[in-house]
Amino acid sequence: MRSPRSVESADVRGKRVLVRADLNVPLEGREVADDTRIRAALPTLRWLLEHGAKEVVVCSHLGRPKTDEDWERLSIAPVADRLLELLPNSRIRLLENTRFNPGETKNDNGFACELAEGMDIFVNDAFGSVHRAHSSTEAVARLLPSYAGLLLLAELEHLGRLLGEVEHPFVLVAGGAKVDDKLAVLEHLGGRADRVLIGGKMAEQVRAHNPLPFSVELPVDVVAASGFAEDAEARVADVTAVPEGWLGLDIGPESARAFSAIVREAKTIFWNGPMGVFEWGRFAAGTRAVAEAVAEADAYSVVGGGDSVRAIQELGLADRVSWVSTGGGASLELLEGRDLPGVAAIPEA
């Protein structure tokens, strides 16, 4: 895989540095609800300060503003507050949400010129956004001497390992609801994996018309619920015996045992997507069992994609896996083997 040149090879002393970070974090009103991505951006910012950058200007998108109300709701101010709380330094400032400029998502050169104005160097550390060809990720990288930040490099290295020689057994675990996004990854990686385990909503689709050219393990039982509600009537059922109109909201105990046993023996693991509606305690057991098995395995283990990352963090198991990716769509596109425009725009190492 292509490796972009590292910020560590740049001479930043006395320079004004524009950093693209992915600070697209969940908000609750005017508060940052989860600051994982802000923390993940800190090592590069610290590196720049420690190496004498004169000024560090950070930019990021936040959400997908469309309506007038979104302009209020999606101001980056709460993110800026949190960033400066974590790294108080008068040489850092954060620009307003890049998507407030209509040129951003069009990869408009005019907006890129505005961003580059007065800057000496560009550092892209926004792994979660490198699959987007936008002004702040792509066009601007062609206007300034550009480098990859430490988080971006670490993500490319950790996820990239799954595309190279891996230790076997290589087990792929997929779940969640965004089925279409993930089929391409399964197709690309699945043929190289020894076992492919599929749970969550994805399992239903694959069972209905398996479009995959390799064999997969599907749940044999589910926790079936009378409707999509936290307090719905629920019981364990064989997949062939789910009552008409009921929904499988988690994999069942037998499937959870079988999946965990396979995961525990793995030497390489990629996990994307929960096994059920784990936000609701009654439907969390399957996801918990898989998360525990991933943590227990003596394996190179990577967790990617928003919901599985949240699950592993909420279970307090994040420090027992090899790598937790900050990228959702970006990690999937990388593992599909697609070119990432934000990476391609940075000169090679």
Kindly tell me which residue out of 19, 24, 115, 122 binds ligand 3PG, with binding defined by CB under 6 A: 24
Annotate each residue in 286-325 with x if it binds Mg ion (CB under 5 A) or - if it does not, as one string. ----------------------------------------
Q: Minimum CB separation from ligand 3PG for residue 61, in Å?
A: 7
Nearer to ligand 3PG, 97 or 301 (CB): 97
Is position 329 an interface residue for Mg ion (rule: CB under 5 A)?
A: yes
Is position 63 an interface residue for Mg ion (rule: CB under 5 A)?
A: no
Structure tokens at 250: 């988690």
Task: Determine the residue with CB nearest Mg ion.
Answer: 329
Site for ligand 3PG in 43-102 (CB under 6 A): 64
Angle at the Cα of 190 (from 126 to 272), degrees rounded to 5? 45
Structure tokens at 33: 């609800």
Q: How many residues bind ligand 3PG (CB under 6 A)?
A: 8
Is position 22 an interface residue for ligand 3PG (rule: CB under 6 A)?
A: yes
Kindly tell me which residue out of 190, 328, 341, 342 binds Mg ion, with binding defined by CB under 5 A: 328
Site for ligand 3PG in 124-143 (CB under 6 A): 128-129, 132
* Spatial CA neighbour of 193 closest among 166, 211, 156: 166
Is position 195 an interface residue for ligand 3PG (rule: CB under 6 A)?
A: no
* CA pair distance 115, 31, nearest whole angstrom: 26
Q: Minimum CB separation from ligand 3PG for residue 257, in Å?
A: 33
8 Å CB contact between 342 and 141? yes
* Spatial CA neighbour of 80 closest among 71, 68, 88: 88
Nearer to Mg ion, 63 or 329 (CB): 329
Q: How far is CA 290 from CA 44, 206, 244, 293, 312, in A?
A: 33, 19, 28, 5, 10
Q: Minimum CB separation from Mg ion for residue 176, in Å?
A: 13
Radius of gyration of the CA atoms of the chain, in A: 21
Kindly tell me which residue out of 65, 103, 274, 328 binds ligand 3PG, with binding defined by CB under 6 A: 328
Nearer to ligand 3PG, 39 or 192 (CB): 39
Identify what 129 binds: ligand 3PG, Mg ion, none; CB under 5 to 8 Å per kind. Answer: ligand 3PG
Residue 119 falls in which region: left (phi positive, over 0), alpha (psi -120 to 50) or beta: beta
Nearer to ligand 3PG, 64 or 168 (CB): 64
Identify what 305 binds: Mg ion, ligand 3PG, none; CB under 5 to 8 Å per kind. Answer: none
What is the side-by-side order of every strand in the sheet holding 247-251? 234-238, 221-225, 247-251
* Spatial CA neighbour of 7 closest among 17, 61, 112: 17
Instruction: Look up residue 5 and give its DSSP letter.
Output: P
Is position 128 an interface residue for Mg ion (rule: CB under 5 A)?
A: no
Nearer to Mg ion, 169 or 329 (CB): 329
Q: How many residues bind Mg ion (CB under 5 A)?
A: 2
Three-state DSSP state, 125: coil
Who contacts 201 (Cβ-Cβ below 8 Å, separation ≥6)? 175, 176, 177, 179
Nearer to Mg ion, 43 or 329 (CB): 329
Residue 316 falls in which region: left (phi positive, over 0), alpha (psi -120 to 50) or beta: left
Three-state DSSP state, 312: helix
Identify what 128 binds: Mg ion, ligand 3PG, none; CB under 5 to 8 Å per kind. Answer: ligand 3PG
Q: Minimum CB separation from ligand 3PG for residue 306, in Å?
A: 7
* Residues engaged in binding ligand 3PG (CB under 6 A): 22, 24, 64, 128-129, 132, 328-329
